Amino acid sequence: MAWDAPMRLICLALVASACACASDCPTADLDSPDTRDRFHELDKKAQVEFRNGEYAQSAEDFRQGACLAPDDLRMYYTLYGTAIGALAAGNLPSAIEFLKEADRLRPDYPLPLAMLVKISLQSPHPDQVKEFLRLAADRFPRAGKLHAEFVKDLLHQNRLDLALAEALRFEQSGVPDIESVLTLAVIENNAGAFGDAAQHGQAVEQQSGLPADVRASGATVAGLAYENLKQFPEAIEHLKRASELAPAREDLYLYLARVYGKQQNAQAAVEVLDQGSKQIAGSQKIRLALGADLVAVEKYAQASQILAEVIRNSPDELEAYPTLADAYGKMGQPKLATETLRALAARKPDYPMVHLAIAQSLLNDEPVDAPRVSEELALADKTSPDDYDVWYLRGKVCLRMNKVPEAIASLRRAIELRPADSSAYYQLALAYRKSGQATLAKRQFEIVEYLKSQ
């Protein structure tokens, strides 16, 4: 690794300082088995602490390890301890320079590069990591464990492009690490390499000697990859297999139901979620999804019972409220629908378009309380002033209240926002006819017929 002269002088000063620290070590018999065992114990402990972010303790253990290290290793471990000590103090540039020097002195050992990759991801210049990854690829192409650790660090920092490259290097190293194969499959699925993700996921799923939960993870990745490929029968096959291997995993029933939904098979989704609800009795997410799919298959009473129970048990499960209101509305109970939506607005006033939903629910009641509808629409307008539905419903309410000019203005604004929707033209035609403007009314009716024909 080449540096300019000033930087080289700085590094020499750092090394001299680091080596001076070694003179503080207590006397020890470096050749005794106990000393060697203690050195290896400290070495392993310090590396684990470093990976876990316990930098102060890692630095101390590296320093203690340096005191017990053989003469030819003492300098390196002193450098490690000093580097991690600088990192613990928040001095990233110094930490990086110490580790660069350790790497320069011992280029055949991967530990300094492994540390440099992790540290550089925390620096204000994260692209520096590319240089360290390149050096590791050049010098240690077969170090599968090393590249697997890089994958984890890069994923943690959401560097998916670099993580995918490192995962491919791991694969090429030939190291049979199942966890890393699964990680590779997940990265491939996230990166859009769905065919490769399915292949790697299946490879794990098919290894009968692995624990059931590990095989289930492989089957899950394969199922999700096939879902992304829109190969829904294959996705269902693998997700079913995953749920058989890991029946207590909540997400698998939700994934299966989602794929059935994409197949327009709501009844199959209901059956899967019902099974999951029995298997995992306390899962409110499964119960919520089950309620929504029961609405889709027009089992409104059963859906309303389940969704009301979800809200009682988990009042912060906000998606349950509009779904329950929808069920009540389709059961012909608009008052219950409105009460449910008002409960949602009380719990989360900024829930998207909740006041518009309340206004729509109020319009389904008889007699319609037009002033209350107008109040809700005014609240909706504050958060979404350019929403078509707000202007369209306001136009309908104004027309019902015989405020014809206001109705015309609102409906014309709705048409500006969504010119291809025939509903606003129809209401505008009624408004023009009510105001005695027969020619304009006729024109709007003609537009309605034209749009319907298209």
pLDDT in tens, 343-373: 999 999 989 899 999 998 998 888 888 889 8
DSSP state of 254: H
pLDDT at 147: 82
Calpha distance 435→432 (Å, rounded):
5
pLDDT at 28: 62
CB atoms within 10 A of CB 7: 12
What is the arithmetic mean of pLDDT over 202-207?
94
The pLDDT confidence band at residue 250, using thresholds 50, 70 and 90, is very high
* Exposure letters 44-70 (e unless 16+ CB within 10 A, then b): ebbbebbeeebbebbbbbbbbbbbbbe
Calpha distance 265→68 (Å, rounded):
67
Query: For residue 268, is pLDDT > 90?
Result: yes
Between 21 and 234, the more confident residue is: 234
Determine the 3-state secondary structure of 182 from DSSP.
helix
Determine the 3-state secondary structure of 52 from DSSP.
coil
Calpha distance 374→64 (Å, rounded):
75
Calpha distance 334→318 (Å, rounded):
19
The pLDDT confidence band at residue 3, using thresholds 50, 70 and 90, is very low
Instruction: Specify burial of residue 367 (Cβ count, 10 A radius: 0-12, 13-18, 19+).
Output: exposed
Give the chain's domains with CATH numbers: 298-385 (1.25.40.10), 386-454 (1.25.40.10)
What is the arithmetic mean of pLDDT over 436-453?
93
Assess contact for 177 and 170: CB atoms under 8 A.
Answer: yes
Assess contact for 369 and 375: CB atoms under 8 A.
Answer: no
Calpha distance 273→302 (Å, rounded):
14
* Cα torsion through 135, 137, 138, 139, rounded to 10: 80
The pLDDT confidence band at residue 13, using thresholds 50, 70 and 90, is low
Residues 6 or more apart from 189 whose CB is under 8 A from it? Answer: 197, 221, 224, 225, 228
Assess contact for 119 and 95: CB atoms under 8 A.
Answer: yes
* Cα torsion through 400, 402, 403, 409, rounded to 10: 60
Identity at 426, one-letter amino acid code: Y
- The mean pLDDT value of the chain amounts to 88
pLDDT at 191: 76
The pLDDT confidence band at residue 179, using thresholds 50, 70 and 90, is confident
In the block, residue with structure tokens 């109705």: 407
pLDDT at 181: 81
Between 176 and 300, the more confident residue is: 300
The pLDDT confidence band at residue 294, using thresholds 50, 70 and 90, is very high
The pLDDT confidence band at residue 255, using thresholds 50, 70 and 90, is very high
The phi and psi torsions of 335 (rounded to 5 degrees) equal: -65, -45
CB atoms within 10 A of CB 213: 12
Q: pTM surpassing 0.85?
A: no
Please calculate the CA angle 412-418-424 and round it to the nearest 5 degrees.
50
What is the arithmetic mean of pLDDT over 421-435?
94
pLDDT in tens, 85-136: 999 999 998 999 999 999 998 899 999 999 999 999 888 776 789 999 999 9
Between 270 and 169, the more confident residue is: 270
The pLDDT confidence band at residue 58, using thresholds 50, 70 and 90, is very high
Query: For residue 326, is pLDDT > 90?
Result: yes
- Pick left, alpha or beta for residue 192 (phi over 0 → left; psi -120 to 50 → alpha; otherwise beta): left
Q: Name the maximum alpha-carbon separation found in the chain.
A: 108
pLDDT at 27: 65
What is the arithmetic mean of pLDDT over 211-227?
96
What is the arithmetic mean of pLDDT over 395-413?
92
Assess contact for 377 and 393: CB atoms under 8 A.
Answer: yes
Calpha distance 424→427 (Å, rounded):
5
pLDDT at 34: 86
Report percent pLDDT > 90 for the chain. Answer: 60
pLDDT at 18: 46
